[in-house]
Amino acid sequence: MTSEKTPAKKDNSEKDLVRLNKLLAERGLASRRGADKLIAEGLVMVNGKKVYELGIKVNPNKDKILVDGKPIKSKSQNIYVMFNKPKNVITSMNDPLERPTVADFVADLPARVFPIGRLDWDSEGLLLLTNDGEFAQKVMHPKTEVTKTYHVKLEGQPQLYQIKKLLTGVSIPGGRVKAKHVEKLKPIKAAGKKTSDKNDWYKIVITEGKNHQVREMFKKIGFDVLKLHRVAIGKLRIGQLGRGEMVFLNEAATQRVFLPDLPEETHGRRDVRHKSKRVKDEELTRKKFDKALDKK
């Protein structure tokens, strides 16, 4: 074991050294960021000693590495799963409060997997799970700009100028964010259910991944999100996969995640589509709204 500050003597084994977080990610324990958390929390031991240093390097062939008291597994085959998370399920592999978690759904998989990113307790839809930390890292890295597409039901009916704010940018807890695309959806008439014209449905595409981002964005323009479904990550779409169901993804399917899912005309720019007509005094209202927003 060695650290970046005190590099190992140059010997034959130096080429075998790898960063501990990278190794833990490769062995399916977490994403690289998740592995850093395990290290920082003192859950990782190398050769009998707890390690806290994030840049530390180890020799996987020689060093004895335990995570939470258990030896790390030898490299297993990578698996990739697309899961349709129902609402009232936590995106976590364990919950101290013993609420339902995604772990309850993946117990029979041939390898231990972890979720890539998260959906809120009351959100549903596409969640990826894998034991490939490098893949997870790439999907979540802000530079990769993976598009995430959501369908949301709103408490109310926003005006076009309000929706446009989502595209020019809003400040939410966690930073300033912009939608890549926003589009009003036609109400779907479910059998036996009334459609309400008080609740608009919107499609929103984002690339950032802040906490509760979509809910916070709509809240910022004055609308609560009543329902939130993630329908796609990149061009990997949930399609007809039922709630609580999952499918294994092959290599080609995993690569669809990195294809941006934006309408042709929005490539390289931001776009809004809306059915409403421009109201005469829209400019005036927008100015008032912008002022109020700045004060928030």
Q: Are 232 and 128 in contact (CB under 8 A)?
A: no
Instruction: Map the footprint of ligand URA across residues 117-136, applying CB under 6 A.
Output: 119-120, 123
Nearest to 244 by CA among 80, 89, 93: 89
Residue whose C-beta lies closest to ligand URA: 123
* Ranges within 267-286 binding ligand URA (CB under 6 A): none
Strand partners, 248: 81
Catalytic residue check, 120: yes
The answer to whether 23 contacts ligand URA (rule: CB under 6 A) is no
Nearer to ligand URA, 220 or 286 (CB): 220
**212 is a site residue for ligand URA (CB under 6 A):** yes
Q: Is residue 254 a contact point for ligand URA (CB under 6 A)?
A: no
Pair type for strands 225-233 and 201-206: unpaired
The nearer residue to ligand URA, 119 or 154, going by C-beta atoms, is: 119
What's the DSSP call for residue 15?
G
Say if residues 90 and 100 touch (Cβ distance below 8 Å).
Answer: yes
> Residue 25 and residue 33: Cα distance in Å, rounded?
9
Rg (CA), the chain: 22
Nearer to ligand URA, 50 or 99 (CB): 99
Q: Is 85 in the site for ligand URA (CB under 6 A)?
A: no
Between 58 and 172, name the residue whose CB sits nearer to ligand URA: 172
> Could you say whether residue 215 binds ligand URA (CB under 6 A)?
yes
Kindly list the distances between the CA atom of residue 43 and the CA atoms of 31, 219, 267, in Å, as whole numbers in the listed order.
15, 38, 44
Contacts of ligand URA in 58-77 (CB under 6 A): none
Give the pairing type, strands 124-130 and 225-233.
parallel
CA distances from 116 to 1, 5, 126, 139, 160 (A): 29, 31, 10, 8, 33
Considering the candidates 120, 122, 197, 261, report the single residue annotated as catalytic: 120
Nearer to ligand URA, 35 or 179 (CB): 179
The region of 19-27, 126-134, 173-181, 209-217 touching ligand URA under the rule CB under 6 A is 209-217
List residues with catalytic annotation. 120
Name the residues that contact ligand URA, by CB under 6 A.
119-120, 123, 212-215, 228
